[in-house]
Amino acid sequence: MTIASKLLTGIGSLLEEAGKQVRINYFNIVPDSVYDDVATLLPSGNFWTSGIVLPIMANKGSTESILMEQGKLISSDQMLYLQGSIPLIGSELTVKIDVGSPPVESFTLMGEVIAPEVSNQQIYKKAYIRRLTGSMIGE
């Protein structure tokens, strides 16, 4: 058993034991044919998985602390941990994340997604998420 497969098994166990039901909703970004700044989000699918949602711990000097000082994160944002094989970003892709079954809260991604690799295989994904109080722009 390789190191990557051991890590994947460990992350899978953590997500199974400590995770919540999470629905990843995918949207394709369709630009308007007339105006450059207008875009529409068209649903392109969704699926359920398990994810761990944690509050941001902005200890001094941590990545989260630096992102908060830069104004990229706010104190009510959260962290989401998922399996590394789940696509979250793309040039024509945007996602909305529903937490709970049935969904209790909806979130959008904030900034970059961190995806550590071992032997060219993403082990897990860490994303910063912000609670939506309505629908996403263009949805």
Taking residues 93-97, report their average pLDDT. Answer: 88
Quick: pLDDT tens for 7-24.
999 999 999 999 999 999
Query: Does residue 92 surpass a pLDDT of 80?
Result: no
Residue recorded with tokens 């308007």:
32
Fold of the CATH domain 3-131: Thrombin, subunit H (2.40.10)
In the structure, what pLDDT confidence band is assigned to residue 131 with cuts at 50, 70 and 90? very high
